[in-house]
Structure 1
Amino acid sequence: MKKIFKILPLALLISGAVQAGTENPWYVGARVGGTSFDNVDGELKGKDLDKDDWGGGLFVGYNVNSWFGLEAGYTYLGQADYLNDGFEVQGIDLVGKFTYEVLPQFDIYAKAGGFVYDADNSVTNNDESGIAPTAGVGAEYFFNDDLSARIEYQYYNQIGDTQQPGESDVHFYGLSLVYHWGAPAPMPVVEAPEPTPEPEPQPQPEIITIEAVGAILPFAFDSNKLTQEDINLLQPVVKQLQAYPDTKLYVVGHTDSRGSVEYNQKLSEERASVVAGYVAKQVGIAESRIVVQGRGELEPVASNDTEQGRAQNRRVEVFVPSFEVTKL
Structure 2
Amino acid sequence: MNKLSIVAASLLTIFASSHVAAANDNTGFYVGGSLGQLKIKAKGSETGVGLGAYGGYNFNEWFGLEANLFVSGDLGDSNEDIGAGTFALTPKFTYQINDTFAVYGKVGIASMAVVSRPDNSRNEDFTGFGWAYGVGVNASVTENLNIRLGYDVVTGELDSEYSNSFQNVDTDISNFALGMHYQF
**TM-score range for the pair, normalised by the shorter chain length:** 0.7 to 0.9
User: Residues 149-183 of structure 1, C-alpha deviation per residue, up to 9 Å, x if partnerless?
Assistant: 000111121352384375531221010001011xx
Structure 1: which amino acid aligns with 2:39?
S
| Structure 1 residue 79 displacement after superposition | 4.7
Per the alignment, residue 121 of structure 1 pairs with 116
Gaps of 5+ in 1: 1-23, 182-328
Select the structure of larger CA radius of gyration: 1
Q: Structure 2 vs 1, CA of residues 32 and 60 (structure 1 numbering), >3 Å: closer, same or farther?
A: same
User: Residues 126-157 of structure 1, C-alpha deviation per residue, up to 9 Å, x if partnerless?
Assistant: 21222121111100000122011000111121
Identity %: 27
Aligned-residue CA RMSD in angstroms?
A: 2.2
CA–CA separation in structure 2 for the residues paired with 1:159 and 1:30: 27
CA–CA separation in structure 1 for the residues paired with 2:31 and 2:104: 17
CA–CA separation in structure 1 for the residues paired with 2:72 and 2:95: 27
Gaps of 5+ in 2: 1-26
CA–CA separation in structure 2 for the residues paired with 1:92 and 1:140: 21
Is the CA contact (8 Å cut-off) linking 1:92 and 1:115 kept in structure 2?
yes
| Structure 1 residue 113 displacement after superposition | 1.1
Per the alignment, residue 62 of structure 2 pairs with 67
Mapping for residues 255-274 of structure 1, pairs under 5 Å: none
Structure 2: which amino acid aligns with 1:171?
S
In structure 1, which of residues 172, 176, 192 is the aligned counterpart of residue 175 of structure 2? Answer: 172
Structure 2: which amino acid aligns with 1:164?
F
Structure with greater strand share of residues: 2
Per the alignment, residue 141 of structure 2 pairs with 143
Is the CA contact (8 Å cut-off) linking 2:86 and 2:154 kept in structure 1?
no
User: Paired residues, what number?
Assistant: 150
Structure 1: which amino acid aligns with 2:68?
G
Is the CA contact (8 Å cut-off) linking 1:29 and 1:59 kept in structure 2?
yes
CA–CA separation in structure 2 for the residues paired with 1:159 and 1:119: 11
CA–CA separation in structure 2 for the residues paired with 1:132 and 1:82: 27
Q: Which has the higher contact order (CA 8 A, sep 6+)?
A: 2
**Deviation >3 Å, runs of 4+:** 77-80
Mapping for residues 21-40 of structure 1, pairs under 5 Å: 25-38=28-41, 40=42
User: Taking structure 2 as the reference length, what is the TM-score of the superposition?
Assistant: 0.72
Structure with greater helix share of residues: 1
